Amino acid sequence: MKMITAVIKPFKLDDVREALSELGIHGITVTEVKGAGRQKGHTEMYRGAEYTVDFLPKVKLEIALDNTVVDATIEAISRAASTGKIGDGKIFVSALEQVIRIRTGETGVDAI
C-alpha cells in the first residue's frame, strides 16, 4: 500500500478530483495549506501599501492506495494539475504500513 500526498494549486482541485474519480478512486482527504517553494511568493498592493506574500495558498491531497493503481494515480494527478507554469505543485509517494477501518475493524487493502 502507498500514501500519495499531492500539493496542487487550489483551482485545479476539481480537475484532479474528476480525474481520480474516472480511475475509481473516491477516498481523498483535502486540506487547505500554504507553502513556499521556487515561486518564492509575490508582492501585492493593499490600501496603497505594497507587501510580500511569502506563503501561497495550496491544496494538499492525501490518498491511500493499493500498489496496483499508484502509477495511474500519479499520471492522473500530474495531467489534471498541470498548468505548465511554476508552482503547479508536487507529488510525494510513501509506503503505508497499515490501514484500519475504525467502523468495521477491516485492515490492509480491505480498509481502503
Return the pLDDT at 41.
63
**Whether 30 contacts 60, CB under 8 Å:** yes
The per-residue pLDDT for range 22-80, each reduced to its tens digit, is 999 989 999 999 988 776 666 667 777 776 777 889 999 999 999 999 999 999 999 99
Class of domain 2-111: alpha beta
Among the listed residues 54, 52, 62, 68, the one whose alpha carbon sits nearest the alpha carbon of residue 94? 62
**Whether 98 contacts 110, CB under 8 Å:** no
- What confidence category does residue 96 fall into, taking pLDDT thresholds of 50, 70 and 90? very high
Alpha helices in 3-107 (DSSP H): 13-22, 70-81
Domain boundaries, the chain: 2-111
Return the pLDDT at 89.
93
- What confidence category does residue 95 fall into, taking pLDDT thresholds of 50, 70 and 90? very high
Backbone angles phi, psi at 12, to 5 degrees: -95, 0
The pTM of the full predicted model, rounded to 2 decimals, is 0.85
How would you classify the pairing of strands 49-53 and 42-46? Answer: antiparallel
